[in-house]
C-alpha cells in the first residue's frame, strides 16, 4: 500500500492504516447527470484496486454539508458525485471539520464547471484510477459573506436567472433551462446599479462576478489563473440592457469578455458589492440571497484529486 501524505491546511500527517484507501462517495441522485450504473463501475474498479468504498445517496439538500462538517467523518477521500452546488456544500462543510479529507469529484452536475477547470476524467475507470493514484492539487476558494465559493460569487442578471430557473425545467432541459429563463427574465427585469469597492478602488456597474476560477457557466473563460491558483478576479460589466447583454454574451462565447467595451477584469483581495436595494446573488451556481456581499480571498486550501 502506498503512503499517502496529508496536503490540507493542517500540518502534514501520514494517513493511518485504517484510513488508507477508505473512500466515501456522496452522490446526489437529483443532480442533472446522475447515473447509478456509472457509480457502480467506479466502486467496482476502486475495490479491484484495494480501496474500501462506500456509496451514500443524499436524501435531502444540505446533507453533503452535514456529513462533511461532522468530525466523526474519517475517510481518506470524500468523493462528491454531483454538480458544482454539491461540491460547494462539501467545501462549506469542510470548514467545520478539524481534519477534512481529500476531495474528489464525479461530475454528475448540469454544468460541471469545476470538472472542466481541473480537466477531470469522465469515464468510471479513469475516475477510479485518479482516486486511487491520489495526486492532489490545492483547491483555493474565496468567501462571500463567510460562505466559501470555488467558482464564483456574483450579483446581477445571472444571479436573478439562477434564482428564477424552475428546478423541474433544469432537470428536464439542463443548461437550456437557463437560456429560456434568461430570455424571459431579460424582457421584464428592472436593472439596478451596483457599487463595487475593491481594495480601495470604487467601480460602478450592473453586473459583478467575483471569480475564483478561470471558467464561467461552462467552457467560457472570464479570468486568468484558475481554482488551483491563489487569487480572485472581479469581472464588472457597466451595462445590462438587452443589446449590451447580447454583445457581452458574444464576447463571452469568443473568450474576449475582458476586451469588451464597458467590461473590466481586476485582481482583488477584498471587495464589497452593494446597491440601493437588494440585488440577487449566487455562489457556485446556486441562489445565495442578495446584496450586500462582502467578498474576500483566503489562503486556506483543500486538497483536490486531479489526473
Ligand atoms: N437528495 C436531494 N434532494 C434535493 N436536493 C438535493 C439532494 N441532494 C443534494 N441536493 C441539492 O441539489 C443542489 C444542486 O445539485 P448539484 O450541484 O449536485 O447538481 P446540479 O444542480 O445538476 O448541477 P449544477 O450545480 O452544475 O447546476 C445542491 O446544492 C444540493 O444542495
Ramachandran category for residue 255: left, alpha or beta (phi over 0 → left; psi -120 to 50 → alpha): left
Distance CA 23, CA 20 (A): 9
**163 CA to centre of ligand 1 in angstroms:** 14
* pLDDT at 15 (0 to 100): 44
Atom of ligand 1 nearest to the CA of 58: 1
Residue 5 has pLDDT above 60, yes or no: no
Residue 172 has pLDDT above 90, yes or no: no
Rg of the chain over all Cα atoms, to the nearest angstrom: 19
Q: Which CATH code, of 2.60.200.40, 3.40.50.300, 1.10.10.10, 1.10.1040.10, is assigned to 147-299?
A: 2.60.200.40
* pLDDT at 13 (0 to 100): 39
- Which one, of 171, 134, 157, 152, lies nearest residue 31 by Cα? 171
Atom of ligand 1 nearest to the CA of 33: 22
For residue 110 and ligand 1, the question of a CB distance below 6 A is answered with yes
Distance CA 98, CA 100 (A): 6
Residue 175 has pLDDT above 60, yes or no: yes
Prediction pTM value:
0.89
* pLDDT at 20 (0 to 100): 59
Residue 45 has pLDDT above 80, yes or no: yes
- Which one, of 146, 151, 162, 158, lies nearest residue 292 by Cα? 146
- pLDDT per residue as tens digits for the range 152-169: 999 999 999 999 988 888
Q: Chain-wide mean pLDDT for the chain? A: 90
**193 CA to centre of ligand 1 in angstroms:** 31
Contact (Cβ atoms closer than 8 angstroms) between residue 298 and residue 154 = no
What ipTM was reported for this prediction?
0.95
Contact (Cβ atoms closer than 8 angstroms) between residue 112 and residue 33 = yes
Distances (CA, A) of 279 to 161, 204, 211: 12, 14, 18
Residue 241 — pLDDT band, cuts 50, 70, 90? Answer: confident
**205 CA to centre of ligand 1 in angstroms:** 30
Q: Give the CA angle between residues 204, 208, 209 to the nearest 5°.
A: 150
For residue 58 and ligand 1, the question of a CB distance below 6 A is answered with yes
Domain boundaries, the chain: 22-134, 147-299
For residue 91 and ligand 1, the question of a CB distance below 6 A is answered with no
Mean pLDDT of 76-104: 96
Residue nearest to atom 21 of ligand 1 (CA): 31
Distance CA 166, CA 28 (A): 18
Select from 64, 86, 162 the residue to mutate for testing ligand 1; criterion: most ligand atoms less than 8 Å from CB. Answer: 86
For residue 177 and ligand 1, the question of a CB distance below 6 A is answered with no
Residue 28 has pLDDT above 60, yes or no: yes
For residue 41 and ligand 1, the question of a CB distance below 6 A is answered with no
Distances (CA, A) of 270 to 26, 230, 238, 264: 33, 14, 20, 17
For residue 211 and ligand 1, the question of a CB distance below 6 A is answered with no
Angle between helices 242-253 and 175-188 (to 10 degrees): 150
Residue 6 — pLDDT band, cuts 50, 70, 90? Answer: very low
For residue 282 and ligand 1, the question of a CB distance below 6 A is answered with no
**Same fold flag, 22-134 and 147-299:** no
**89 CA to centre of ligand 1 in angstroms:** 9
User: At residue 276, what are phi and psi to the nearest 5 degrees?
Assistant: -65, -45
Residues in the chain: 307
Mean pLDDT of 21-29: 92
Mean pLDDT lowest for which of 68-72, 157-161, 185-189, 196-200?
Answer: 185-189
Q: Which CATH code, of 3.40.50.150, 3.40.50.2300, 3.40.50.10330, 3.40.50.1000, is assigned to 22-134?
A: 3.40.50.10330
Residue 301, strand partner residues: 140
* pLDDT at 188 (0 to 100): 79
Atom of ligand 1 nearest to the CA of 84: 25
- The string over 87-119, giving b where at least 16 C-beta atoms fall within 10 Å of a residue's C-beta and e elsewhere, is bbbbbbbbbebeebbbbbbbbbbbbbbbbbbbe
**57 CA to centre of ligand 1 in angstroms:** 12
* pLDDT at 265 (0 to 100): 96
Residue 3 has pLDDT above 50, yes or no: no
* pLDDT at 83 (0 to 100): 95
User: At residue 211, what are phi and psi to the nearest 5 degrees?
Assistant: -110, 130
Amino acid at each position: 500500500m502506498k503512503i499517502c501524505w496529508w496536503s490540507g491546511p493542517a500540518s502534514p500527517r501520514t494517513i493511518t492504516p485504517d484510513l488508507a484507501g477508505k473512500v466515501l462517495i456522496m452522490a446526489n441522485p437529483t443532480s442533472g447527470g446522475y447515473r447509478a450504473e456509472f457509480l457502480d463501475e467506479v466502486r467496482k474498479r476502486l475495490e479491484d484496486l484495494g480501496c474500501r468504498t462506500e456509496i451514500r445517496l443524499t436524501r435531502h439538500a444540505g446533507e453533503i454539508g452535514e456529513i462533511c462538517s461532522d468530525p466523526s467523518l474519517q475517510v481518506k477521500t470524500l468523493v462528491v458525485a454531483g454538480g458544482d452546488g454539491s461540491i460547494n456544500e462539501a467545501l462549506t462543510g469542510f470548514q467545520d471539520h478539524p481534519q477534512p479529507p481529500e476531495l474528489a469529484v464525479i461530475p454528475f452536475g448540469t454544468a460541471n464547471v469545476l470538472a472542466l477547470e481541473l480537466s477531470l476524467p469522465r469515464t468510471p475507470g479513469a475516475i477510479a484510477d485518479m482516486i486511487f493514484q491520489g495526486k492532489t492539487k490545492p483547491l483555493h476558494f474565496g468567501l462571500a459573506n463567510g460562505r466559501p465559493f470555488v467558482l464564483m460569487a456574483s450579483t446581477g442578471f445571472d444571479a436573478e436567472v439562477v434564482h428564477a430557473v424552475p428546478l423541474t425545467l433544469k432537470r428536464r432541459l439542463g443548461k437550456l433551462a437557463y437560456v429560456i429563463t434568461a430570455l424571459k427574465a431579460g424582457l421584464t427585469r428592472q436593472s439596478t446599479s451596483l457599487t463595487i469597492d475593491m481594495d480601495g478602488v470604487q467601480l460602478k456597474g450592473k453586473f459583478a462576478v467575483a471569480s475564483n476560477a478561470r471558467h464561467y457557466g461552462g467552457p467560457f473563460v472570464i479570468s486568468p489563473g484558475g481554482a488551483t491558483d491563489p487569487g480572485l478576479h472581479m469581472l464588472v460589466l457597466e451595462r445590462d440592457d438587452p443589446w449590451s447583454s447580447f454583445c457581452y454574451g458574444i464576447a463571452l462565447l469568443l473568450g474576449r469578455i475582458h476586451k469588451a467595451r464597458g467590461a473590466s477584469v481586476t485582481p482583488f483581495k477584498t471587495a464589497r458589492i452593494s446597491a440601493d436595494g437588494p440585488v440577487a446573488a449566487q455562489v457556485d451556481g446556486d441562489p445565495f440571497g442578495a446584496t450586500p456581499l462582502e467578498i474576500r480571498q483566503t489562503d486556506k486550501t483543500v486538497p483536490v484529486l486531479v489526473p
